[in-house]
Structure 1
């Protein structure tokens, strides 16, 4: 039985990517390159997650960037995977916001690529079982999670100290030591699972945290430090141990597109060429995998991210203030909206339009990018506060329309 290899590449730029020039730079240096590489290796398949907000930016910048992806999606070499539109940490949002972010992302994919996605990649692989009903109700059949999260799931009840560990503490690795056996892994990572809440079920694909990091680290395989043959040896070892098995590698697609470094592209092409020639490896999309090998083992997976826990985005004073202020804005919009509906003003065009603009800004500010890049680059955090100020101004205008007119009439 062959080793099934699933690669899932995540493409994303925050909502300010276009205005700051990031989307253009990466469109030329990364996003055009990825489908070209795969077109040259037709036996290698991949799942592609292009975040909805990036689709919006690429269509505004140059729609031709999208066309090669469409071609590979429709010929079956790529599977398009949905997410949450503005890249929020979904488990930290109210359920209705989770649903809206996912609905917006699915709509962007269907409108752009003409297909309905059945797979899901949560931003930062931030998982909670609260997502299962929301995904299942939308026809999502599978989601990817990180192996560090699965490691916690295999304990009957994870201790609080376990839940507070980072992914690198849960799954330590050393890329510098050539004696390290990259395939020395828990065999539970190399199968699929199903997770259930009430009658709702979602299949789970397990990302190999350590092998995936090889595609992101400066001391990894895209910089030539880890040679393709070493990666092949790890896969061969896994195949021998598992007599088959499923290996899932997932990283940011910008890495394999080079990020302006052509040597990374060369190394990635070398890796694909090596993989393509392996007679014990079969490259498949997740949809193909679940069609052939249905997930049968049921498991409960505790909340977690690809970093192990949520602390990277929520622990600092800067994070807490930003999240608190955003929650204030959201609650105020809820109160104004409720009052507008009760008084029959919600259908007035000026009020409806303002409510829509404020709502959209709040959804955009839910992106975890405002929390990740605190000071580097600093202008991103400043831009986040500027958007928050704009949201506050629009919300005050909305209040005047909804409340002041009532005061005048009384």
Structure 2
């Protein structure tokens, strides 16, 4: 029986319209990214090796609608095939990929609900939640619990109140009477896999790091599935062709390690302790993640985020005033909300002044539609 259970996770995301944009300005780069979505399928079909995936709703939407010559398979077919594979566990996430702790709580459920509706249309089944950028706060627990998620992946650095082996166990976190299982993502092993390593060295490192612990251990790794030369592919290989194939072969002859889906591990190894999880996100470049410096470290980013909060509050007030009124107002409000959620895309803040204009462009459209609602409903603008 395996002692080390490796939940290998990859995260896929592209901001709104980015695939079409890249195809128009740099087709080769676009194709190298799109192959990151098709390549895993070759290695996961007709085998038992389990992989966990999180896919943003805005990316799912693009893959369903974009046709690209030069790929071995239509992208919408690839999505359907992932949904049909028993060894692929898909996790829910926010539709437009927001950093949840930074946006208004009123907007959390709209992001998640949109993702759920689209994912169900594709055929995905899901039990867990992946917070974009691993941005998590305990105040999210009641919403996630209400929406029937069994577990959430968090940055293991922020878990408090567990023993020395806590990085390799699931835990329970509670907030305001609601509970959820938290899965610690291992930063060190995630970075090793994303940066490039041979399978034998990785197996050796896993065993060495966990040798002092007893019982069944869960090592959860997660990284962006389309970023970096090692992931996209180099002349000497890529993660899936060079590492994954060798890794699976090694594990078939090694009874001490097995690839697993998170749900499978939890069925046999439910959490036994309760922990606290500090608010934070994963590490990016030189930014630690705990204070969200990548997204709000600059005054310009904070100003843009403040405008997002103002727009969200205005939408909430107008919606409360008109209630279940004229249907045309309801449609306008829905469109306004869509632009508000698009403004919250993490990439808009991540890339600083190169992308912050996208926040304001979306918020202009929010104001436009809210002004139209106010006029139709006889409300004073503002």
8 A Cα contact 2:343 2:360, kept in partner: no
Q: Matched residues in 1 for 2:293 and 2:207: separation?
A: 36
Matched, 1:57 2:62: yes
For residues 271-324 of structure 1, the C-alpha deviation after alignment (integer angstroms, 9 at most, x for no partner) is: 223322231211110010101111111111121211331222122111111011
Once the 2 structures are TM-superposed, how far is the Cα of residue 229 of structure 1 from its aligned partner? 2.8
TM-score normalized with structure 1 length: 0.80
Report the secondary structure of 2:15's partner residue.
coil
1 CA distance for matches of 2:61 and 2:357? 22
For structure 2, the residue ranges without an aligned partner over 5 or more in a row are 24-28, 68-72, 284-288
Contact 2:171-2:182 within 8 A present in 1 as well: yes
Q: Deviations over 1:348-381 (max 9, x none)?
A: 2332221111111111112221110114xx2x33
Tell me the equivalent position of 1:138: 147
CA-CA distance at 1:122 after TM superposition: 0.5
Partner of 1:126: 135
Q: SS where residue 21 of structure 1 aligns?
A: helix
CA distance in 1, matches of 2:82, 2:229: 16
Distance 2:372 2:20 in 1: 26
Q: Secondary structure at the match of 1:88?
A: coil
1:35 & 1:339 partners in 2: Cα distance? 49
Instruction: Please give the alpha-carbon distance, in whole angstroms, between the structure 2 residues aligned to 1:207 and 1:335.
Output: 38
Q: Deviations over 1:246-285 (max 9, x none)?
A: 2111001114896653447534433223322231211110
- Match of residue 308 from structure 2: 326
Shift of 1:382: 2.8
Where does structure 1 lack aligned partners over 5 or more consecutive residues? 157-185
What's the counterpart of residue 203 of structure 2? 232
Backbone CA RMSD of aligned residues: 2.7
2:225 equivalent in structure 1: 253
1:5 is paired with a residue whose SS is: strand
Q: 2:109, 2:237 → 1: CA distance?
A: 36
Q: How many residues align?
A: 359
Secondary structure in 2 matching 1:127: coil
TM-superposed CA distance for 1:24, in Å, is 5.3
**Partner deviation per Cα, 1:95-145 (whole Å, 9 max, x = no partner):** 331112111111111111253x11110111111111111111111001111
**Cα distance in 1 between the residues matched to 2:124 and 2:152:** 21
Question: Does the aligned pair in 2 maintain the 1:31–1:257 contact within 8 Å?
Answer: no
Which of these residues, 350, 366, 391, is aligned with residue 366 of structure 2? 391
Q: In the alignment, is residue 357 of structure 1 matched against residue 296 of structure 2? A: no
In structure 1, the residue corresponding to 2:16 is in which secondary structure?
coil
1:35 offset after TM fit, Å?
1.5
Contact 1:34 1:256 in 2 (8 A): no
| CA distance in 2 between partners of 1:206 and 1:311 (Å) | 21
Q: Write the distance in 1 (CA, Å) between the matches of 2:79 and 2:317.
A: 43
Q: Is the 8 A contact 2:185 2:222 kept in 1?
A: yes
- SS of equivalent residue, structure 1 residue 13: coil
CA distance in 2, matches of 1:198, 1:33: 43
